Structure 1
Amino acid sequence: MATILVIDDEDSIRHLLKEILEKATHHVIEAKDGREGLTAYQNNRVDLVIMDILMPGTDGLEATLQLTREYMDAKVIAMTGAQGDRNFLDVAKLFGARRVFEKPFDLNKLVDAVKEELAR
């Protein structure tokens, strides 16, 4: 069982991911923005982070960069609902995200990506 931190300002996305990941026997910690997510990461042993890019306050790009700079083993999957603008996803990869998804995303593909990243 892995611990996965889900960071997203949309309650519905966080709750959906929590439900899906808990069915896959993972422990899920939720955070509603990058600042809260960074604190949760520092206070818990986290195996994987699933992070929204566009959030108020500390956004996902800033949080991804901070995580991957401070923690060499941080694994981040980034996602965004900014339709048609792959630039955010490309920047997230440059900042250390291992995988990126556009919302709405295929839940099965996301679960497969989680399995693959946890196996690395």
Structure 2
Amino acid sequence: MAPILVIDDDPQINALLQDVLEFEGFQVITAQRAIEGLQHLETTKVDLVITDVLMPDKEGLETIREMRQRFPHTKILAISGGLTKSGVDVLELAKRLGAHSVLSKPFDVQDLVKSVRQLLGS
């Protein structure tokens, strides 16, 4: 199985997701910036990307749109705990742009593992 790529600007979230997923037997690559995550996708085959939606360098929504265009077979799980400045639910927007599943922060790690297993068909 190819690794899972986690993209989140919060190093604590990256570390938590990596620990949980590796404990469950998954291989994990992390990136703290969307641009870094997209570079990983260019050089490494991954089965799933878990990406934060609200990030400083490149919005997760823009990243999701780009991933759907450039890497259409890669599954995407969008995570976020926020709304846009105008009050729009960013996870709903993420779904519309092609995220296969979404989780709202804070989430239970068991819900994360369940979503990952469903997306990967395992």
TM-score with structure 2 setting the length: 0.92
Equivalent of 1:93 in 88, 92, 95: 95
Query: How has the CA–CA distance of structure 1 residues 86 and 101 changed in structure 2, closer, same or farther, with 3 Å as cutoff?
Result: farther
Aligned position for 1:115: 117
SS of match in other structure, 2:54: coil
Inter-partner Cα distance in structure 1 for 2:45 and 2:96: 24
Query: How has the CA–CA distance of structure 1 residues 100 and 86 changed in structure 2, closer, same or farther, with 3 Å as cutoff?
Result: farther
Aligned position for 1:54: 54
- Aligned 1:1-120 pairs, distance under 5 A: 1-82=1-82, 87-119=89-121
Q: Deviations over 1:42-90 (max 9, x none)?
A: 111101000000001112111110001112212100011216x562011
CA shift for structure 1 position 92: 0.3
Unaligned regions of 5+ residues in structure 2, if any? Answer: none
Inter-partner Cα distance in structure 1 for 2:2 and 2:74: 13
Instruction: Note if contact 2:82-2:89 (Cα within 8 Å) is conserved in structure 1.
Output: no
TM-score with structure 1 setting the length: 0.93
Aligned pair count reads 120
Inter-partner Cα distance in structure 2 for 1:59 and 1:86: 14
Instruction: Note if contact 1:33-1:59 (Cα within 8 Å) is conserved in structure 2.
Output: no
Q: Aligned AA for 1:40?
A: H
**Deviation beyond 4 Å, 4+ runs, structure 1:** none
Instruction: Note if contact 1:77-1:98 (Cα within 8 Å) is conserved in structure 2.
Output: yes
SS of match in other structure, 1:116: helix
SS of match in other structure, 1:64: helix
